[in-house]
Structure 1
Amino acid sequence: MTDPLTDPTTDPLADPHRLERFARHIVLPEIGGAGQARLAAAHVAVIGAGGIGSPAIQYLAAAGFGRITIIDDDAVEASNLQRQTIFTEADLGKPKAEAAAAWVRRFDPALAVTPVAQRITLANAEDLLADADQILDGCDNFATRLAVSDACTALGKPLTSAAVGRFQAQMANFAGHLPDQPCYRCWVGDAFDAEDCDTCAADGVLGAFTGMAGSMGAMMAVRIALSGISALGDPQYGQLQLFDGLKPALRTIAVMKDPGCSACGTA
């Protein structure tokens, strides 16, 4: 990442149009001009443009993340429109990554967006994520989440993970590459590497609930990008937010680093 405090090309205050666009961020003491410049210089890779990734991409773009990579191998279907707000009926049949990237370009032409219409796996995850500063994973299966987490740990990249199962959502930032921080695998273990897990097609999902998880994921990604700027720039690594959408209720679970973790452990 370029240094936004010394590189004038990432200074949102240098362009009156950008200044106006992000004025409500800049007046926040927790963000300010320095924080907005940090966002403009950040490159986030989003895994999955579905129910979680769709609103997350929209809010990351709205926040001014200067570069966004969207990785998804699926195509838009009619059943997606109930929760994947970045798409319309005109996008049916199109690759999700490309349709989502087209939305970002229309929304803010100043942002650099790259669609990757392929499935991320253990074999290619490190190559696909190597250029990003941080990753937001909103995919719908454990095998992919673990492949992404392991790649982030190997590459030394911070990870925002957001997931939904019916009316339960889990959102957290992980930094398994750091000696005192857990990775996502520390939380779920090795038992979920298979892809035969439950899906929203079988179990159902409430669109507004996935939107909440995606928005929360975007907020956590902002925390990582603003690390060190202010209290908002505390990534809160390993502090998993567990949301029960039926009650509703939110509680925090502290995830500890597992010394025996196959990805980040020291044992």
Structure 2
Amino acid sequence: MSVAKKEYKRITVKSLVEMKSRGEKISMLTAYDYTMAKIVDGAGVDVILVGDSASNVMAGHETTLPITLDQMIYHASSVVRAIDRALVVVDLPFGTYQSDPKEALRSAIRIMKESGGHAVKLEGGKEIKDSIKRILNAGIPVMGHLGLTPQSIYKFGTYTVRAKEEQEAERLREDAKMLEKAGCFAIVLEKIPAALAKEVAESVSIPVIGIGAGDGVDGQVLVVHDMIGMTHEFNPRFLRRYMNLYEDMTNAIGQYVEDVKSQDFPNEKEQY
């Protein structure tokens, strides 16, 4: 069913709540650099997530844990300089908010001041409630993240679907309500059963954005490098590839190498 879209010159946290109330789905993608962010924003994506997944995608780490606050600020500031319309949400990296609400606030302030981002995202529920409240009390918008939380990978042991058992599902429901009550403007639900995600989305007034959480939520998020096929070894069930850029780029670069070796490049028109 199509829903009438409202044209926004600039997406804000308020815009997302309005979109949920109208039944308009929210589009969200990652970006970590100026060039990619320019393309993503120009294509009309509503929210750009400067994710700590940069640790995997840009730096080649196995997990998101190694990326630092300084590195997140670098990526976020590059993205912010590129955008005209999208809301830019920046992940607080592992170790910058879990231990101390004061440290969480300092980390969030640094991101807002030094990158120009519009909001921060934190992983977790009741265990980080005090950190969330401290950040919100300073006037910084917060997006929550429940379900599979990659910063806790060593606790889970695997990137499997979360909240399949009722006890964990009930805890997730409670955490979602807590995030809403605390004042978060949206929640990401990652890799949980579609029926549970739909239930959570219907139970809260704030937007719920899914990744591997079915079609009953208020929006979707993917890692842009996965979606356009720059990566080719990561193939989760929830991923739809819209291009095979890995193959296209490999072929193009291979052709360049061949043209240089054969002295076909540069030709007369490509010289001064």
TM-score (norm 2): 0.33
If asked which structure has higher relative contact order (CA below 8 Å, sep 6+), I would say 1
Q: Structure 1 or 2: larger helix share? A: 2
